[in-house]
Amino acid sequence: MTTTALATPDEPEDGKRRKNSRRSRANGEGSIYPYRNGYAAYAWVTTPTGERKRKYVYGKTRDIVHDKYVKLLGSAKLGPVATKSPTLAGYLTYWLREVVDPNLAPATAANYDMFVRLYIVPVLGKKRLDKLSVQDVRTWLNGLRDRCQCCAQGKDERRSKDERRCCALGECCEQYASDRTVRDAWTVLRAALNNAVREEILPRNVAALLRVPKPRRRKVKPWSVDEARKFLEAARQRRDPLYPAFVLILVLGLRRGEMLGLRWEDVDLDKAELTVGWQIQRIRGRLLHRETKTESSDAVLPLPDICATALAERDENQAAVRDTAGEEWTELGLVFTTRTGQPIEPRNFNRSFTTACRKAGVRLIPVHATRKTCASLLVAMDVHPRVAMQILRHSQISVTMNVYSEVSSDATRKALKRLGKSLDSPREGS
């Protein structure tokens, strides 16, 4: 009785060639045989799913295949070995869906997705994951620095024909990626390949073998106490509806998202306390009201008088706006809302802040830079160091006292006290 062995697609079909290859193998070469225009070899490995499968290696010469075969045997002894390797684009899709989205904050996940979609996949996406080399990653990084991203991403081409103004018209705008963008893109790729190593899909992370310089952050000079006072006084005099929001980000150091996500149930005016635990963020086209990113961000903060009176006035003003809106009002329980009760768009708040800076005649700074003015304002308003320690979230009073070594002028202190007292005027007259 005779049997016929069925060859797999990756195996030689000529049985005579297999016999000849066995006779021509050198000692210690194992399963190396002539194949097509070169040589091939295989070893039995355990896959990440626990199955036993053949893993093949190929090359144009016997020596090349022998080296690959020896490395394969070494990898098989160390642990599971994948027999099939996806493209980098395929693996990144899996990584974003199964690892990033379920485990990271939505804003972080959206940021990773952006770097994968715009900077990594267009250049490296078709590379096989196991074939990605250090040279590939270095060439990609250099290309990011030298290639106009408007041209590469077709930004101008996506505009209507009437709005096109640069690359789509053959006039390159030279929109090169910054050093920060290049490093962030590399960081995302490195994180993805680290996960592939942890899941034993790759033996090493080629992106981690490169060193990408960390660019210096531009330090924005925060407002002085006098600039902050001038800004608040101007907003108060104009009766800016966002004045209480400006007070919270300057005096309590709340982040923009924390301030916009503040709920009335988190404000206790009787105890003069405010609980930070929620935030508003726009992520992937959706406006989300979600918990703060980390537990360390959550805190119960005491309210200095200027904050308590500003929030009390905000409560009264919102009640009047609610009555005016009538059935158009949507009750979400937020402290800061639009005229119909909807959350305020973070970018719209940025625009309002910029407008308020111009009207006050003060130096324009980013919203997030207001946090650095918080400590100086607490000193100027004579807030007790223990209260300031809680607001600034310092672990030791000695750190807070270092801040309190800064002394503000008497004129500034008096102006801020007058500002705090002026907040009580409408309430006393009502």
Q: How is the chain split into domains, by residue range?
A: 15-78, 88-159+167-209, 225-429
Between 33 and 6, name the one with better pLDDT.
Answer: 33
pLDDT-derived band at 44, boundaries 50, 70, 90: confident
> Per mean pLDDT, which range of 118-127, 196-205, 301-310, 412-421 is the poorest?
412-421
The long-range contacts involving 11-20, CB below 8 angstroms and separated by at least 24 positions, are: 12/40
Burial (CB count within 10 angstroms: exposed 0-12, middle 13-18, buried 19+), residue 375: buried
Task: Count CB neighbours of 290 within 10 A.
Answer: 15
> Per mean pLDDT, which range of 72-76, 140-144, 194-198 is the poorest?
72-76
The mean per-residue pLDDT over the stretch 191-202 comes to 89
Residue 244, classed as helix, strand or coil, is: helix
Q: Please indicate whether the domains covering 88-159+167-209 and 225-429 agree at the CATH topology level.
A: no
Which residue type sits at 222?
Answer: P
Q: Classify domain 225-429 at the CATH superfamily level.
A: Intergrase catalytic core (1.10.443.10)
The mean per-residue pLDDT over the stretch 367-396 comes to 75
| Residue 266: predicted pLDDT | 92
| Residue 414: predicted pLDDT | 57
pLDDT tens, 79-124? 777 777 789 999 999 999 999 999 988 889 999 999 999 999 999 9
Q: Using alpha carbons, select from 391, 418, 426 the residue that is nearest to residue 272.
A: 391
What is the rounded CA–CA span in Å between residue 248 and residue 279?
A: 14
The mean per-residue pLDDT over the stretch 214-242 comes to 88
Half-sphere exposure at residue 80, Cβ-oriented, CA atoms within 13 angstroms: 15
pLDDT tens, 114-173? 999 999 999 999 999 988 999 999 999 999 988 888 888 888 788 888 888 888 888 888
| Residue 415: predicted pLDDT | 54
Q: For all residues of the chain together, what is the average pLDDT?
A: 82
- Is the pLDDT reported for residue 407 higher than 50? no
What is the rounded CA–CA span in Å between residue 114 and residue 103?
A: 17
What is the rounded CA–CA span in Å between residue 98 and residue 375?
A: 42
What is the topology classification, in CATH, of domain 88-159+167-209? Answer: DNA polymerase; domain 1 (1.10.150)
The mean per-residue pLDDT over the stretch 256-268 comes to 93
pLDDT-derived band at 334, boundaries 50, 70, 90: very high
If phi over 0 gives left and psi between -120 and 50 gives alpha, with beta otherwise, what is residue 341?
left
| Residue 45: predicted pLDDT | 86
Task: Count CB neighbours of 240 within 10 A.
Answer: 18
Between 413 and 231, name the one with better pLDDT.
Answer: 231
| Residue 413: predicted pLDDT | 54
- Is the pLDDT reported for residue 381 higher than 70? yes
Q: Using alpha carbons, select from 99, 96, 90, 97 the residue that is nearest to residue 112.
A: 96
pLDDT-derived band at 412, boundaries 50, 70, 90: low
| Residue 363: predicted pLDDT | 94
| Residue 239: predicted pLDDT | 92
